[in-house]
């Protein structure tokens, strides 16, 4: 009796005389290692030492099978069946006219189910809570979904905005890897129809954009100086600075003030250049599913 991690082989040698000298046979049964029940429609194959399949038999209702060897020599024997671990035994040395009887016990192979990604569930829940799918159904603006991002495999966040109507990507640096600025046609004709939009990340204001009300009193130098400094810093912000494209879950693009939802400013002076809303995986990581929905 020989044992391995995947099966058990019992090999009984019957001396020459049971069959004509010119014939070598290998016969036996294929059984379940735990229950001992016969395995029907299993495949038992004779292999050369180089691994070439020479002949194959199919086990019957009793698990029985029979192989006729082409010539005396050394061989491997393999046993396989759907739902069981494959096993190779040997080498078996066969002399002329010998008959071998072997019983193979195969071990069940657990069926691996595709895992349910709790992360994907949390992602959808996060976007639902943020109102992303509701606004998408309202059919205002453009919506870049998680599936689209997964298929696109962008290098930079701005790559996801390429080709959208009313969206222009402006190279602000030198070379092919320079900084890219986003401009929308917007509603602010004073900017020539192209200006920097307001940008929200996970619901928080990231960049104010070009369109904003005048808050500083031009006669008060201190307020004017502070406003100018804020505007200068704001102009240096790039969407690509938010992080790698791999952290982006979804994007909403509203090209003009008339498209902007109330929660992002609605139709106002501050949204005349349009609004871009970005949702990240960092934000979705804060969403926790109820315990009973994650046990799958």
8-67 pLDDT, tens digit per residue, is 443 333 333 344 445 788 889 999 998 899 998 889 999 988 888 899 999 998 999 999
CA gap 278, 236 in Å, rounded: 18
The pLDDT-based confidence of 242 (bands split at 50, 70, 90) is: confident
CA gap 41, 64 in Å, rounded: 10
Residue 149's closest CA among 238, 240, 250, 242?
A: 250
Output the pTM of the full model: 0.53
Distance of CA 150 to the CA centre of its chain: 8
Q: In this predicted model, which residue has the larger pLDDT, 183 or 229?
A: 183
pLDDT, position 2: 38
- Domains of the chain, by residue range, sit at 2-106, 118-284
Q: What kind and span of H or E run contains 223?
A: helix 221-236
Q: Write the CB contacts of 197 (distance below 8 Å, at least 6 apart in sequence).
A: 182, 183, 184, 186, 209, 254, 273, 274, 275, 276
% of residues, the chain, pLDDT over 90: 30
Exposed/middle/buried for 296, CB within 10 Å: 0-12, 13-18, 19+? exposed
Tokens of 236: 């240096």
Peptide bond into 91 cis (omega under 30): yes
| CATH T-level assignment (fold) for domain 2-106 | Immunoglobulin-like (2.60.40)
Whether 278 and 201 have beta carbons less than 8 Å apart is answered as yes
Tokens of 163: 């080709």
pLDDT, position 98: 80
| CATH T-level assignment (fold) for domain 118-284 | Ferric Hydroxamate Uptake Protein; Chain A, domain 1 (2.170.130)
**Window from 90-104, 204-218, 221-235, 262-276 with minimum mean pLDDT:** 221-235
pLDDT, position 286: 61
Do the two domains 2-106 and 118-284 of this chain adopt the same fold? no
Tell me the mean pLDDT in the region 249-254. 96
State residue 154 phi and psi, 5-degree precision: -75, 155
Tell me the mean pLDDT in the region 227-241. 71
């Amino acid at each position: 009796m020989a044992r391995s991690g995947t099966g058990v082989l019992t090999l009984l040698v019957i001396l020459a005389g049971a069959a004509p000298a010119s014939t070598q046979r290998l016969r036996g049964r294929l059984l379940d290692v735990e229950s001992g029940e016969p395995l029907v429609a299993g495949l038992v194959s004779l292999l050369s030492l180089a691994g070439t399949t020479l002949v194959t038999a199919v086990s019957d209702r009793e698990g029985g099978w029979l192989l006729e060897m082409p010539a005396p020599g050394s061989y491997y024997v393999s046993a396989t069946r759907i739902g069981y671990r494959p096993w190779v035994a040997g080498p078996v040395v066969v002399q002329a006219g010998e008959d071998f009887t072997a019983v193979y016990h195969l071990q069940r192979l657990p069926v691996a189910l595709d895992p349910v990604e709790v992360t994907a569930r949390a992602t959808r829940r996060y976007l639902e809570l943020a109102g992303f799918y509701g606004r998408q159904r309202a059919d205002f603006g453009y919506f870049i979904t998680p599936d689209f991002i997964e298929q696109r495999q962008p290098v930079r966040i701005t790559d996801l905005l390429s080709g959208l109507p009313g969206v222009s990507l402006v190279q602000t640096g030198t070379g092919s890897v320079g900084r890219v600025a986003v401009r929308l046609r917007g509603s602010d004709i004073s900017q020539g129809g192209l200006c920097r939009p307001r940008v929200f990340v996970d619901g928080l204001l990231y960049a104010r954009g070009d369109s904003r009300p005048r808050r500083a009193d031009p006669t008060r130098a201190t307020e004017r100086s502070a406003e100018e400094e804020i505007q200068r810093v704001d102009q240096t912000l790039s969407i690509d600075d938010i992080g790698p494209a791999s952290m982006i879950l979804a994007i909403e693009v509203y090209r003009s003030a008339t498209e902007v939802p109330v929660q992002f400013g609605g139709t106002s002076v501050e949204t005349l250049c349009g609004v871009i809303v970005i949702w990240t995986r960092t934000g979705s990581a804060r969403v926790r599913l109820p315990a009973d929905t994650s046990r799958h």
